[in-house]
Amino acid sequence: MDLVSLAVRSIFIDNMIFAYFLGMCSFLAVSKKVSTALGLGLAVVFVLSITAPVNWLLQQYVLREGALTWVSAEFANVNLEFLQFIMFIAVIAGMVQLVEMVIEKFSPSLYGSLGIFLPLIAVNCSILGGSLFMVQRDYTLPQASVYGFGSGLGFALAIVALAAVREKLKYSNVPKPLKGIGITMLITGLMAIAFKSFIGIAV
């Protein structure tokens, strides 16, 4: 039950985009068409749900203070936490490389339409942010896995919703200086208000 409520929380309430602004760059750049947005969303779900548990194991058994006691009792005082950023980003970059190869093999058309944004998932803050939040909040392994999957799904939901709005926006009369990023920003703000109302629901 705890895991279900965590999943709901990470999708709607602690949404990566609307509550923490993580992954905004690709959120704004790839949300012009629903089909591409969906592709990127699924790629992010995949990468996040794998990197969160992998980074959890890394943190628990290698990086944390006293984590290396399973090797030998002498390492009880070793604290490798300063390596955290580099190790996490290495795992993420490796995973992204893997996803890139898989997509190129099985869906060349999606690979073409995502273009530069596929490798840029490596620098998508929502991925690294997911891992850092997971460490900050002391999640257990099952919690970390659910959190990774849920926040990936939250990102996918947000980007597809915005893409759907922006597809219609092409036909509307927007003041010239507000076109593009300006109006998108305001729409995201309004969507964030809608998502805020989930806070009132106890889970």
CA 46 to chain centroid: 10
Amino acid residing at 46: F
Count other C-beta atoms under 10 Å from residue 195's C-beta.
18
Rounded to 5 degrees, φ, ψ at 16 are -55, -40
Residue of 72, 136, 172, 173 that binds another protein (CB under 8 A): 136
CB 176 → another protein: shortest distance, Å? 5
Close Cβ partners of 70 (under 8 Å, ≥ 6 residues apart): 61
Cβ nearer to another protein, comparing 4 with 182: 182
Burial of 26 (0-12, 13-18, 19+ CB in 10 A): buried
Taking CB under 8 A as the rule, which mask of x and - marks residues 91-110 in contact with another protein?
A: --x-----------------
Regarding 188 and contact with another protein (CB under 8 A), the answer is: yes
List alpha helices for 59-180, DSSP H: 84-106, 108-114, 125-136, 141-169
Regarding 76 and contact with another protein (CB under 8 A), the answer is: no
Cβ nearer to another protein, comparing 4 with 65: 65
Residues 14-73 that bind another protein (CB under 8 A): 18-25, 28-29
HSE (CB half, 13 Å, CA atoms) of 133? 21
Residue of 186, 197, 201, 203 that binds another protein (CB under 8 A): 186
Residue of 10, 36, 59, 124 that binds another protein (CB under 8 A): 124
Contact 152, 44 (CB under 8 A): yes
CB 158 → another protein: shortest distance, Å? 12
Burial of 129 (0-12, 13-18, 19+ CB in 10 A): middle
Cβ nearer to another protein, comparing 153 with 162: 162
Cβ nearer to another protein, comparing 87 with 164: 87
Name the residues that contact another protein, by CB under 8 A: 18-25, 28-29, 82, 84-86, 89-90, 93, 119-120, 122-125, 127-129, 132-133, 136, 175-186, 188-189, 192-193, 196
